[in-house]
Amino acid sequence: MGNAMTPPTPAWGAPHLSLAVRGLKPSPTVAINERSDALRQQGRRIYKLGLGQSPFPVPEPVVASLREHAHEKAYLPVKGLPALRAAVAAYEQRTIDLACDAEDVIIAPGSKELMFLLQVTFYGDLIVPTPAWVSYAPQAHILQRTVEYLPMREADGWRLDPDALAECCKDDPTRPRVLILNYPSNPAGTTYDRAHLERLADVARRYGVIVLSDEIYGELHFQGRQPSIATAYPEGTIVSTGLSKWCGAGGWRLGAFVFPRQLRWLQDAMAAVASESYTATSAPIQYAAITAFQGGPAIAAYLVRARRILAALGAFVTARLRAARVTLPDPEGGFYVFADFAAHRAAFAARGITTSVQLAERLLEDTGVALLPGNAFGRPKDELTVRIAYVDFDGARAMANLPDGPGLPDPAWLRQHCTPVVEAIDQVHAWTLQA
């Protein structure tokens, strides 16, 4: 009797997920971080070389500015606080000689969000040179866009060959495309010189390719400055930046894009989508970001210290891995290396390791070193590559103890002040050479 009144059990469940996200896993960078923390909570000694999080604190003047603006509570304009947009434009003028002004800037809760909005808004293929940061392609897949992978070569320092770009574009020359160019590179740590960027710019201009120049690690170039493709191809380049890497503020979630005037239509469309999704970026964070982008002597000194430590550590990691017959190009900025264990293929096969995922898993199991497999960066499954983020150390203590002067700290200093990274690389070295 009661049965007639019982509503049918709804058929909701996993089969009703959008086809585009069925099978989608949490992003590998985020997943390895959460897994490392969970393993640590179980009491395991874990070296966190997985997530690329700055080891350094947010510079004191920026923290002070956040404190001062904690009361800011209003929704801000969707494209960002005008004074922050002006500060970002001035920063780009100062650091990469980009001709731009406040109107060209859009602010968001992280450049990752802006990259997603760009793909929501622009209809075209995404060109992803690999190895590439883990989220560019999944964002395209979520939106059911086509991804064109352009494999790069270790012998080229994992840099994009302009001829490979031309080859990709020439079959359908008028097809709308966005090329993502990230330098210093996540995951390889290498970057481009001006001549190389000019050659890439020529190809992009010839085929009308929009370039998303992801310069989030630009300030962490070990020399403190690098050219941008935006100066060689101003009309077609969007520059991406943010606070996460150079300002140590990943968890604050603040990113910015700078558009050429010619792409104002795209910027406006992205702002319209933003207004229907996140509305605006956190107000106190935007006020604090003005202080960060304005710079000044304290922030400049902080960056000099950060670069000296990262340059020394990058060189140490590279040398130590090479001593174990692991190959990799010299890092030039940021805090990653992309290491290739191909020379150990036969020995690893005998240990049951034939893919990068197995390699990363076994390293975690056997040594406690958490890192990411090359496959997560768009490389073939059986290529024995991994990304190492050399960030597991107390950056505040390291900065405080760094001797003054232009030179780089030596390995003994690194062993004392960046201990977990040095120990982790020792572990990888010994584990690799195990019979």
Q: Which stretches of the chain bind ligand GLU, using CB under 6 A? A: 27, 29, 51-52, 112, 133, 135, 186
Length, in residues, of the chain: 435
Strands 372-373 and 369-370: unpaired
CB of 290 to ligand GLU, least distance (A): 23
* Closest to ligand GLU by CB, 51 or 285: 51
Q: Helical H runs in 42-81?
A: 60-68
Q: Which residues pair with 386 in a beta bridge?
A: 339, 373
What is the CA 186 to chain-centroid distance, rounded?
5
* Closest to ligand GLU by CB, 52 or 109: 52
* Closest to ligand GLU by CB, 299 or 371: 371
Residue 256 exposed, middle or buried by CB count within 10 Å (0-12, 13-18, 19+) = buried
How many other C-beta atoms can be found within 10 angstroms of the C-beta atom of residue 262? 11
CB of 114 to ligand GLU, least distance (A): 13
Does the bond joining 297 to the residue before it have cis omega, within 30 degrees of 0? no
How many other C-beta atoms can be found within 10 angstroms of the C-beta atom of residue 218? 26
Q: Which residues pair with 153 in a beta bridge?
A: 159
CB of 393 to ligand GLU, least distance (A): 16
Does the bond joining 162 to the residue before it have cis omega, within 30 degrees of 0? no
Q: Which residues of 220-246 are buried (b: 16+ CB within 10 A; e: fewer)?
A: bbbeeebbbbbbbbbebbbbbbbbbbb
* Closest to ligand GLU by CB, 81 or 389: 389
* Closest to ligand GLU by CB, 112 or 159: 112
CB of 250 to ligand GLU, least distance (A): 6
Phi, psi values for residue 299, rounded to 5°? -70, -35
Q: Which residues pair with 255 in a beta bridge?
A: 108, 242
* Closest to ligand GLU by CB, 29 or 294: 29
Residue nearest ligand GLU, CB atom distance: 52
Cα distance between residue 339 and residue 429, in whole Å: 12
Cα distance between residue 323 and residue 318, in whole Å: 9
CB of 152 to ligand GLU, least distance (A): 17
Contact 369, 387 (CB under 8 A): no
CB of 28 to ligand GLU, least distance (A): 8
* Closest to ligand GLU by CB, 49 or 160: 49
* Closest to ligand GLU by CB, 65 or 111: 111
CB of 159 to ligand GLU, least distance (A): 19
CB of 37 to ligand GLU, least distance (A): 14
